[in-house]
Chains A and B, each alone.
Chain A
Amino acid sequence: MRVRFWGTRGSIPVALTSADIRHKIEQALALAIASGVDSPEKLQNFIEHDLGFSISHTYGGHSSCVELETGRAEYLVCDMGSGARAFGNRIMSRRDGGPPPVINVIMSHVHWDHIMGFPFFAPAYVPGARIRIHGCHDVLEQAFRLQQSAPCFPVDFSRLAADIEFTQLEAGASYDVAGFRVTPKLQRHTGGSYGYRFERDGKTVVYSTDSEHKLEDPAETRGFVEFFRNADLVIFDAMYSLLDAVSMKEDWGHSSNIVGVEMAQMANVKHLCLFHHEPAFDDDRIESVLNETIRLEKLTRTEQPLKITAAYDGMEIEL
């Protein structure tokens, strides 16, 4: 099973600025000078092995959109944030004259950053394409139609050429979607959000974004630990520091890296992927949060090691 991240940023898309790129170049050149890079061969080696991710890459700025490869001639994706535009373009480029695509969308909730990519999702404009949008909110269809209504967008939802269906799911029930067993769970977030447990061929992925875990309610914590139990991968909303999550941003509906590690350890998770990055954080800061989270896991490890990564746009995880 392969998971591909098309959008990983929380709340609003962000883009690198000229100043950000200049900063990366300055950092890279200073390190190259210090490392004695003086030939093309040394340069390649330096870029490959000595340059940190936050200098040589970017975590990216698209809002939530995560694809789970189905192994079939259809697609499965979580959320339609701004990353959906690039995802749609990939679908179109892979079509290569074949039949119109079939895309299954699983929606955590309908806040703007999770639906804003849909008006730019090219398959929605393809006659014969089938888009099945699944979610637990009764306002699911209303939200998609509303954002494509005048005066907010020039193309009304009713003019989309694809065959678009909305399917209501219920928390706690399990469904077969594109070969996956899919189980939604209600999460703490303004207006409610839903996490999803995906199981197929003995592998389990949990997509749990826009979820605040307060942990003072043992029953609620136990419920989420069971939801995460033995997952191969948990994609976790780690937008805030713990300090922010329990002080000025309490009840804003997001969690922290520390809570992510604690819950993943309790649930015997194999891989925790930090997701829904704070838009105010630059690449240095996200890398710093990642390194601190890896350190925390080592400090608090009890049984099996927990792998920790920070999601970036374009990242693929093979399970």
Chain B
Amino acid sequence: MKNMDIRSKTYGDVLVLSPTGRIDHANSEVFRRALNPLIERCSANGQRLVLDLAGVDYVSSAGLRCFMLAEKQAKSQGGAIVVAAMQPVVNEIFEISRFTLVFKTFATVRDALAKVSPAALKAFDAA
């Protein structure tokens, strides 16, 4: 895989990123490269970020490591990342890996926005 599409959409002061497919050893580096500029943009603008994983059906350890690197990057620049809409398998992998200790997780993107930013929730509901 040479490219990975990560759809992005801004609601108020929150950027929602929606990758799709599997994030595994074969494409984690591609995923990381695609994620980096989005994290930089998010942090530079003081935006918070929601990772919408509804379209992701599997994440390997290499994919989880990308999330961790993104979280470190966002945190170092004053940003924050939360995770939303995980499929059941990905949710279990998050729990087994203990990533739930680092990432706040929400059942839906709307739930995440409601917690992160009232303005973003308003924009989401209006969209």
| Chain A residues within 8 Å of B, Cβ to Cβ | 214-216, 218, 221, 241-244, 246-247, 256-259, 262, 292-293, 295-296, 299-300
Contact = CB atoms under 8 A, between A and B. Distances in A.
- Main SS at interface, chain A: helix
A296 B93 contact: yes
Nearest to A240: B98
Contacts of B60: 215, 262
Given A218-B25, A256-B61, A295 B97 contact: no
B45 to A, nearest CB: 26
A241 B98 contact: yes
Contacts of B92: 295-296, 299
Interface string B58-71: 10111011001000
B25 A242 contact: no
A209 to B, nearest CB: 18
B68 A258 contact: no
B47 interface: no
Contact of B65 (A215, A293, A296): A215
Contacts of A241: 97-98
Contact of A292 (B28, B68, B96): B96
B35 to A, nearest CB: 14
B14 to A, nearest CB: 24
Contact of B97 (A221, A242, A300): A242
Residue among A215, A243, A296 with most chain B CB within 10 A: A243
